[in-house]
Amino acid sequence: MKVGIVNVTGYAGSELARILYLHPHVELACVTGRSGAGQRLDEFFPHLSGIDLMIEPELEDGLDLAFSALPHKASAEACIPLIEDGLKVVDISADFRLKKADEYEEWYGVEHPGPQYLEEAVYGLTELHREQVAEARLIANPGCYPTSAILALAPVVKEGLIQPTGVFVDAKSGVSGAGRGLSLTTHYSEVNENVMAYSVGGHRHLPEITQELAGVAQTPPQVTFLTHLIPMTRGILNSCYATLTPGRFGSWQQAHEEIRQLYTDFYADEPFVEVPASPPHTKHTSGNNMCLVYPAVDKRTGTLMVISCLDNLVKGAAGQAIQNMNVMYGFPETTALEGLALYP
């Protein structure tokens, strides 16, 4: 099959190219860029020197599927004509993730360019929506934070094991999540040897988390979501906190064991979610498509902690997009995503 990448010149775009390079069933036939059009791809990105393509202003005809790695709004504007031309589309931007256009406008501050597609678009967290992904022509690929937060909380939310108020997601992200665009927040000397909270008034990834957890919940939880920037390039680690539903467990020790078993069972058949025996490190996922989810109960207070991590550019973006493509086309879900993490 032939695929294209719209806006290969950012970090998610180039990561798509890196992974697709090893995909045996896919020909990366065309790439476009907001910057760099007219340049050779391996001149723009020397690490992609094995790929012989020019950065084009527009996608060529004859593609089966397009990935869009444009920013929000621009992405929807680019994707809609592609869908209407009959391509399948995996959109890495936020444009088709929220089901409600007014919620989109509240958080992104712009009118939605194609609200008629919101109902059809499938939220591409493969682990929750695999069957719809298989049938979809438009995938809204999840945000990096939501992927790890939703996978961390879905089992207990679904089972009604936590109280719906007082749910906290404390997220720590590497800097590549902010993209390749320049800003003081991503200026080396400001980030290095530093940690800070940002978007304290509310981060745009919150409504995705809420929407998807509501989808599996008996009582939708109210989540407080606080994001932090830490001095590393790749990786997100979430620490999620909640209070266990009273009366459900014989003791907090039992709660700990039952919840660990619940998670192990919940993700038993998932190739890209693992419940490790010890607290996970982002480094254990560097460059690969795994999400590690580690639940534990604080036996002093009876509260739940779930630690989850992933590589924001792989399972949090390009890898998950290719996982979705694999499901859409009936390839083995792990195709091109078999590589182990780069450690140390």
- Map the footprint of its own copies across residues 19-38, applying CB under 8 A: 21-22
Q: Which of residues 260-279 bind its own copies (CB under 8 A)?
A: 274, 276-279
214 binds its own copies (CB under 8 A): no
309 touches 239 (CB < 8 A): no
Q: What are phi and psi of 274, to 5 degrees?
A: -130, 145
Choosing from 29, 134, 216, 232, the residue that interacts with its own copies (CB under 8 A) is 232
Choosing from 61, 119, 193, 269, the residue that interacts with its own copies (CB under 8 A) is 193
344 binds its own copies (CB under 8 A): yes
247 binds its own copies (CB under 8 A): no
330 binds its own copies (CB under 8 A): no
Q: How far apart are CA 90 and CA 15, in angstroms?
A: 14
Which of these segments, 26-34, 56-64, 132-140, 228-236, binds its own copies (CB under 8 A)?
228-236
* Exposure string over 40-56, b if 16+ CB within 10 A, otherwise e: ebeebbeebeebebbbb
C-alpha dist (Å) from residue 329 to 14, 64, 94, 332, 333: 22, 10, 23, 9, 9
Choosing from 3, 26, 48, 273, the residue that interacts with its own copies (CB under 8 A) is 48
Q: Identify which of residues 160 and 181 has a Cβ nearer to its own copies in the complex.
A: 181
First to last CA, the chain: 35
305 binds its own copies (CB under 8 A): yes
Choosing from 102, 120, 219, 222, the residue that interacts with its own copies (CB under 8 A) is 222
Inter-helix orientation angle 319-329/126-135, to 10°: 40
Which of these segments, 24-32, 60-68, 153-161, 232-240, binds its own copies (CB under 8 A)?
232-240
227 touches 197 (CB < 8 A): yes
Six token digits for residue 184: 């003081």
172 binds its own copies (CB under 8 A): yes
166 binds its own copies (CB under 8 A): yes
